[in-house]
């Protein structure tokens, strides 16, 4: 890993954007002799990356004249370009092919891909990896569920690539040839009970493969047919988990912000890029040959971290837990207050107060996931419009 990182840093040093960052820390590529040295390289924030990548190609030091494909990805109200060279695409397909094998896909499988193909990256990303692997793929594209079901049944499609919601909609209409479902585009593994619910929508056992990636880093992680969590594709990206407040690496198995470095990418490579995504990486060898796994995928965002009762608390984790109670709660609000130095945490849920019997179980789940005990959880019929989080201690709202 260190050798790959060092070789990549040599290349990144040729780019103004990264040379300046190493210079900030008085580092030259030759100074990176260990992973501890690597951890001295300043992080790249999303804002810094965005400011550079949105420049015109001839002014952007992350652009590469060998680029052969430009996709786009939404960020805020605008789009930013996703650059790939032919070598970047080849490597992406190679690493994905290995995950298709681990997912149990064979050359006889026929996949139907329901992600979009124009402008954005997801549709072509899947189409190309199935073709590269030697399987068959139909570029269905999104929507038109009746036509999708007809094609899936006429051609006995065995693999569906879809967001979980659309997959369940198709399953309702009966697609009995399906054996494997690749999901993406929505929180899935992180939502307790959701994978079981999606499985139950099908008339026969279906293996579900979850993936995690960002447009500017595709792929990052994917589960295998053993469904043990999302394995980091560590021949493609180097993943670190940091304490978002201090920037220090956390111990394996501890919660923190995911930081990514591309090991080979030529166009728009990432170096210690802060994803803002909250996760846990465990080192647990899986029978498929992978060893770094995010058992629950992405469990929240790190930009909203609070310290409550001396514990790091990420309010977005509440939303992740609530997704496992579909249709019950419309909105929620987390309120933090303090009296004589003692913090108090309150959760208001908008829903039917008749469901209050669920609250003990919910309180237990929240304590397990966030490590903080809520002092009060209450269902109200109507929650006044307002922010998700009100931190009365600091007058902070977001």
Residues of this chain that bind Zn ion (CB under 5 A): 224, 226, 286, 288, 290
CB 232 → Zn ion: shortest distance, Å? Answer: 11
* Contact (CB, 8 A) for 186 and 137: no
Q: In whole angstroms, what is the distance from residue 166 CA to residue 172 CA?
A: 10
CB nearer to Zn ion: give 104 or 116. Answer: 104
Spatial neighbors of 99 by CB under 8 A, at least 6 apart, are 209, 219, 222, 224, 231, 233
Collect contacts of 376-380 with beta carbons under 8 A, ≥24 apart: 376/344, 376/345, 376/346, 376/347, 377/346, 377/347, 377/349, 378/346, 378/347, 378/348, 378/349, 379/329, 379/349, 379/350, 379/351, 379/352, 379/353, 379/355, 380/348, 380/349, 380/350, 380/353
CB nearer to Zn ion: give 191 or 292. Answer: 292
CB nearer to Zn ion: give 209 or 267. Answer: 209
Q: In whole angstroms, what is the distance from residue 137 CA to residue 161 CA?
A: 10
Range list of H helices, the chain: 2-12, 16-24, 35-38, 46-53, 86-102, 122-133, 145-154, 164-172, 194-200, 316-322, 359-370
CB 398 → Zn ion: shortest distance, Å? Answer: 37
CB 292 → Zn ion: shortest distance, Å? Answer: 11
CB 259 → Zn ion: shortest distance, Å? Answer: 23
CB 223 → Zn ion: shortest distance, Å? Answer: 7
Q: In whole angstroms, what is the distance from residue 145 CA to residue 132 CA?
A: 27
CB nearer to Zn ion: give 171 or 288. Answer: 288
Read off φ and ψ for residue 52, nearest 5 degrees: -80, -45
- Strands 342-351, 376-380: pairing is parallel
CB 148 → Zn ion: shortest distance, Å? Answer: 29
CB nearer to Zn ion: give 233 or 288. Answer: 288
Secondary-structure percent of the chain, ordered helix, strand, coil, rounded to 5? 30, 30, 40
CB nearer to Zn ion: give 149 or 281. Answer: 281
CB nearer to Zn ion: give 179 or 226. Answer: 226
CB 284 → Zn ion: shortest distance, Å? Answer: 10
Classified as helix, coil or strand, 159 is strand
CB nearer to Zn ion: give 138 or 209. Answer: 209
CB 53 → Zn ion: shortest distance, Å? Answer: 33
């Amino acid at each position: 890993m260190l050798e790959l990182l060092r070789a990549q840093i040599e290349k990144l040093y040729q780019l103004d954007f990264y040379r300046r960052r190493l210079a900030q820390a008085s580092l030259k590529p030759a100074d990176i002799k260990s992973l501890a040295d690597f951890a001295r390289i300043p992080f790249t924030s999303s804002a810094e990356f965005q400011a550079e990548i949105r420049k015109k190609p001839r002014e952007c030091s992350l652009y590469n004249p060998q680029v052969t494909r430009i996709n786009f990805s939404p960020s805020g109200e605008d789009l930013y370009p996703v650059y790939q060279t032919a070598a970047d695409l080849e490597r992406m397909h190679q690493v994905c092919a290995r995950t298709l094998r681990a997912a149990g896909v064979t050359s006889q499988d026929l996949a139907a891909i329901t992600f979009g193909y124009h402008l954005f990256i997801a549709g072509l990303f899947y189409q190309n990896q199935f073709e590269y692997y030697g399987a068959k793929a139909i570029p269905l594209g999104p929507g038109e569920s009746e036509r999708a079901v007809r094609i899936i049944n006429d051609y006995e499609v065995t693999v569906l690539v879809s967001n979980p919601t659309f997959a369940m909609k198709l399953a309702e209409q009966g697609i009995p040839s399906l054996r494997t479902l690749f999901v993406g585009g929505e929180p899935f593994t992180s939502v307790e009970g959701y994978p079981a619910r999606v499985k139950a929508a099908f008339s026969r056992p279906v293996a579900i493969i979850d993936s995690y990636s960002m447009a500017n880093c595709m792929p990052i992680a994917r589960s295998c047919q053993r469904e043990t969590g999302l394995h980091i594709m560590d021949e493609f990206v180097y993943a670190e988990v940091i304490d978002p407040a201090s920037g220090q690496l956390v111990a394996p198995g501890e919660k923190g912000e995911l930081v990514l470095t591309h090991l080979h990418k030529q166009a728009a490579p990432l170096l210690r890029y802060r994803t803002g995504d909250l996760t846990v990486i465990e080192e647990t060898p899986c029978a498929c040959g992978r060893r770094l796994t995010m058992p629950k995928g992405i469990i929240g965002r790190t930009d909203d971290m609070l310290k409550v009762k001396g514990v790091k608390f990420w309010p977005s984790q509440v939303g992740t837990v609530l997704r496992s109670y579909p249709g019950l709660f419309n909105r929620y609000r987390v309120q933090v207050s303090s009296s004589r130095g003692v913090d108090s945490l309150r959760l208001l849920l908008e829903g039917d107060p008749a469901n209050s019997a669920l609250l003990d179980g919910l309180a237990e789940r929240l304590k397990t996931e966030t490590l903080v005990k809520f002092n009060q959880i209450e269902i109200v019929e109507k929650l006044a419009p307002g922010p998700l989080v009100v931190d009365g201690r600091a007058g902070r709202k977001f």
